[in-house]
Amino acid sequence: MSNKTIFLSAKYYLLIFFALPMLISCAAGGVRTPSGAPITDVIGALENGEIRLSCDTACSGAWGSVSRKVKELHDNGLWRDLAIETARVGFREDLAYYYLGRSAEGLGYDSAADTYYRLALANRYKCDGFINNCDGFVFPQDINKRQNILADKKAEIEASAAAKKSKEDSKIAAEKAKVEEQIAAEKAKDADRIAAEEAEAKLVESKKIAAENAAADEAAKKAAAEGAIDVIGLFPGITTKQQVEFAKANYGFIIGGYELLCVPEFKDNKLYSFTCVTGEDNLSRDRVKGSNEQVSNIEVYEELFKGFSKKFGIPQTSENQVRTKLGVKYVSEIAVWKDKRGNQLSLISIANTTDSGALLLESVEKINADREAEMKANQKRNF
């Protein structure tokens, strides 16, 4: 064996002696998650920004042996292969993290790419040490350049999303405004229709009331000619509710010159009954004298008795004893006028109390209804 052959063999074995521990250490180191767990799915971990290079000097030789390969993978945009090969060696260096960042960026994992670029900047093992092994890259300039590209891309995506959202919001707002406008138009249309219907109904009702009042006026003239009973022009069974309300609003219930408290009752829009109370307790006043002083029920009875007797003739009269709570007895005078139709006007000097009298105008329908109700009630009394 020649000396040259012996020298080459010794060199070969020395190379194996020194390189083998580094290769074994590199294979054992690899990549891990931030918590230190081993990684089996490189691409999945790459996407989530979870790859952490964990092999230091021991993997430098292996990294050097694949440097040309990973550079070619980078230059040809083979991002999956670049990530897998970088992770396989697991050498903790800024260039390796840069390759992970480019792989993530190329695969569309922008957030993860930013993480790897920041890890590259923060990593204490630099490719441009005593010997520059940066594969032609200049750090941190090239890293910052990629970060700026990511930032611009992010800003562009956010601006595009904002513009899209603004456009969608504008579209939604326009559609909402259109719907609201349609609803408002429908409401306005409905309101106009309802207003027109109400106006038509009021017109119909007004015509109906006018016709009823005209008919009532004619009926009242005829009834007056027949000697029918009325009080200040209010005829039971003839005068309408609107006519009574008009009389109250314009003149008040002033009967025989006395302002009285009166309550009308109606049936089928016609005067069913008309009840007034008299006396100081019921605020009766003499408006003929112009005095605001209250007058007694006896005075009102006497004056109305004379007035109605003159108007309708002599009434049927009767007396009724009224006893107070103290046991004092009073005689109440009752005067009743009836017309041919069966309507009735009653005048009572003393009603529930000694200071209260009453005037009661009843239609024949009311009288008959009360009589029938009383008969039914009496039939239910068993003795």
pLDDT in tens, 134-172: 999 999 999 999 999 999 999 998 999 999 999 988 899
Confidence class of residue 78 from pLDDT cuts 50, 70 and 90? Answer: very high
Listed residue (89, 66, 55, 76) closest to 135, CA to CA: 66
Integer distance in angstroms from the first to the last C-alpha of the chain? 157
Give every CB contact of residue 55 below 8 A, 6+ residues apart in sequence: 25, 26, 29, 30, 89, 90, 91, 92
C-beta of residue 292 within 8 angstroms of C-beta of residue 282 = no
- Which letter does DSSP use for residue 317 in this model? E
Angle between helices 141-225 and 110-122 (to 10 degrees): 140
Q: Reading across the β-sheet that carries 285-286, which strands appear in turn?
A: 254-255, 258-259, 285-286
pLDDT-above-90 percentage for the chain: 68
- Which letter does DSSP use for residue 40 in this model? S
Question: Which amino acid type is present at position 93?
Answer: E
Average pLDDT over residues 121-125: 94
Q: Give yes or no for residue 92 having a pLDDT over 90.
A: yes
Overall pTM > 0.75: no
Burial (CB count within 10 angstroms: exposed 0-12, middle 13-18, buried 19+), residue 369 = middle
Listed residue (236, 228, 234) closest to 260, CA to CA: 234
pLDDT in tens, 12-26: 343 333 444 444 444
Give every CB contact of residue 10 below 8 A, 6+ residues apart in sequence: none
